[in-house]
């Protein structure tokens, strides 16, 4: 599984998308959860470093507002719906917000 980033700075946000390694879309038998960690100083001072799991916003995509500068670590987790077992995970990738 891999993660992709599509930036919409002019709209104040960014989309993350998970796909299978061959580039295939993920079937409805699975869902994608995201772990987003913000390492920016301003966010950490306000206890907004996060690190929890977040649901996809639409299909296997997640929309994040661009509120904090700094490096964000993002991971996608593929979860089988019928038993809630993690069956795949992307490599962590860095997203730098300036």
pLDDT tens readout for residues 37-90: 877 667 667 776 677 888 898 889 888 877 766 777 889 999 999 999 999 999
Q: Which candidate, 64, 85, 45, 47, places its Cα nearest to that of 3? A: 64
End-to-end CA distance of the chain: 27
Judging by beta carbons within 10 Å of its beta carbon (0-12, 13-18, 19+), is residue 64 exposed, middle or buried?
buried
27 near 39, Cβ under 8 Å?
no
Q: Write the CATH number of the domain with boundaries 2-97.
A: 2.60.40
pTM of the model: 0.77
Q: What are the boundaries of each domain within the chain?
A: 2-97
> So what's the pLDDT on residue 68?
62
21 near 38, Cβ under 8 Å?
no
> So what's the pLDDT on residue 8?
45
> So what's the pLDDT on residue 50?
74
């Amino acid at each position: 599984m891999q993660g992709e980033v599509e930036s919409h700075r002019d709209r104040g946000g960014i989309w993350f998308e998970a796909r299978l390694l061959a580039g295939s879309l993920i079937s409805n038998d699975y869902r994608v959860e995201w772990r987003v960690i913000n390492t920016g100083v301003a966010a950490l001072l306000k206890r907004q470093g996060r690190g929890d799991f977040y649901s996809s916003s639409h299909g296997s995509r997640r929309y994040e507002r661009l509120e904090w500068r700094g490096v964000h670590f993002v991971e996608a987790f593929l979860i089988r719906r019928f038993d809630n077992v993690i069956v795949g995970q992307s490599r962590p990738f860095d997203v730098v917000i300036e």
